[in-house]
Every structure is written in C-alpha cells, then in structure tokens.
Amino acid sequence: MKAMILAAGKGERLRPLTLHTPKPLVRAGGVPLIEYHLRALKAAGFSEVVINHAWLGQQIEDYLGDGHQFGLRIRYSPEGEPLETGGGIFRALPLLGDEPFLVVNGDIWTDCDFTALKAPIHGLAHLVLVDNPLHHLSGDFALVGGEVRDESAPARLTYSGIAVLHPKLFAGCSDGAFKLAPLLRDAMAKGQVTGEHFTGRWVDVGTHERLAEVEQIVAVKP
C-alpha cells in the first residue's frame, strides 16, 4: 500500500512562521511536522509516499529529497495553485495506482500507529475518527457499528485527517479544485464508508496554541 501526505496548505493561521516556511516544515520539538509522519509511515512498513504541495513547495522537495534518508521513496505532486483536498488527491492518483492508499493530513500531529490501516477496506473509504477537540465540538460524522454516517446519532466524532481511500471514490471527478467531504458523504449514503475511533494523541496543528501543545507533548514523550 502507498501513502499520501497532504502538504499543500498555506498555514495562514500560523503566520509569521509560514510566511517563509511551508506549514509541513514548521518544527515542533525541533522536528518538521511532516517528518513525524514519515517516521511513522516507515515504522508501519510503508515504503512509497506521495506528497502534494503548493505554497513554497520547492522547500519541501529540497528538504525531503527522494526520501532515502527516511528509508522511503518519495514522489511529489506539485499543484501551483492549491486544489483543495479532493482535487489534490485526484491530481496525484496516477502516482498512487489502482489500489487503496493511506492519506494523512500534513498539518496534524499524532501517535497513531498506521500499521493496522494497511488491512483491506470494505467499501470506498475507511476513516479514522477522534474525540471532538475544543475547537470543533460539533464533530463531523457518526460511527455506528463500524460504519461512518453523516448523521448526529448517537454521537458525532471528528475526522482526524487520516483515511484509507479507494481510487474508485473519485470516479467521475475531473482535474481542478474540489473538496473531499462531498465525495465521502455520497459514499456514506451508499453504505460504502467504514471507520474506527482512535483514542490516542492527536492535534490539529492549525494555530500557534496547538503548535505549542505539540511542543509540550514531544518534550515529555519517551
């Protein structure tokens, strides 16, 4: 299975850090955020990674290179203008192949073990959901008997930015900017999305306060 890290975001809420540094290269505990993902993917047995980029993307390529220092093979999907989550993944499909692939948002920090996500999926997508953070208490989706649904009962959880997607999820799409969520909701309506509830450490690193939270976690992490 291949993996894709979404790294095209501009990180406007992390300015001035992101004025001259792409968000995935912002450091926490002295380590670029994207490097935590690469280490975790390697530990989970992944060998091929695709990274999309837009804002200051060449810096990402210059820093990570072909991935050999991480024991990985990295390929890039440059966008120029951001294509949003759905459009970015769709543009990268030729690099990802015809089988399900892991997708990880580049602007999260987590200690999630990606190993179990290499298991075959049943349907078009498998989402990792987390408890609702303070900045998103309403959540995104419900998890009912292993199936993810776009409803409020019994309780909504937050999409973590970690998923396994089948390329068929993008059938009928065309090149350009579009969001992933509508595709997921369409698949949910057809019973084609499964999920799991991750209860480990997870931070959406969207602000300076949440970046400081990650700093504190990695400072004490064994």
Q: Residue for token digits 């390697």?
A: 42
11 has a pLDDT exceeding 60 = no
Out of 25-29, 36-40, 109-113, 122-126, pick the least confident: 25-29
Ordered by start, the domain boundaries in the chain are 3-220
Measure the CA dihedral 141/133/131/182, to 10°. Answer: 20
CA atoms within 13 A on the CB side of 58: 2
CB 83 within 8 A of CB 177: yes
Average pLDDT over residues 187-204: 96
The model's confidence at residue 12, banded by pLDDT at 50, 70 and 90, is: low
Predicted pLDDT of residue 112: 95
Tell me the pTM.
Answer: 0.93
**18 has a pLDDT exceeding 70:** no
Considering only residues 4 and 81, tell me which one the structure prediction assigns the higher pLDDT.
4
- Mean pLDDT, rounded, for 66-91: 95
State how far the Cα of 83 lies from the Cα of 180, in Å rounded to an integer: 11
Q: Which residues is 148 bridged to in the sheet?
A: 143
Q: Rounded to whole angstroms, how far apart are CA atoms 77 and 113?
A: 25
pLDDT at 134: 87
| Nearest Cα residue to 131 out of 198, 195, 184, 196 | 198
The pLDDT assigned to 222 comes to 52
What is the mean pLDDT of the segment spanning 8-20?
67
Single-letter amino acid, residue 179: K
Tell me: pLDDT of 82 over 80.
yes
In three-state secondary structure terms, 66 is coil
What does the pLDDT read at residue 205? 86
Are the beta carbons of 88 and 82 closer than 8 angstroms?
yes
**CA 20 → CA 10, 36, 87, 180, distances in Å?**
10, 21, 25, 28
DSSP 87-111: HHHHHHHHHH-SS-EEEEETTEEE-
Any idea which architecture 3-220 has in CATH? Alpha-Beta Complex (3.90)
| Helix or strand run (H / E) with residue 50 | strand 48-53
- Spatial separation of the C-alpha atoms in residues 52 and 59, rounded to whole Å: 12
Report yes or no: 187 and 166 within 8 Å, Cβ to Cβ: no
Say yes or no to pLDDT of 2 above 60: yes
Q: How confident is the model at residue 193 (pLDDT cuts 50, 70, 90)?
A: very high
The C-alpha atoms of residue 101 and residue 7 are separated, in whole angstroms, by: 16
pLDDT at 74 over 90: yes
pLDDT digits (tens, 9 = 90+) for 142-169: 999 899 999 876 789 999 999 999 999 9
Tell me what pLDDT residue 153 has. Answer: 66
Q: Is the pLDDT of residue 26 over 90?
A: no
Give the amino acid at 191.
G
Average of per-residue pLDDT values in the chain: 91
Judged by average pLDDT, the poorest of 2-16, 23-37, 90-104, 172-186 is 2-16
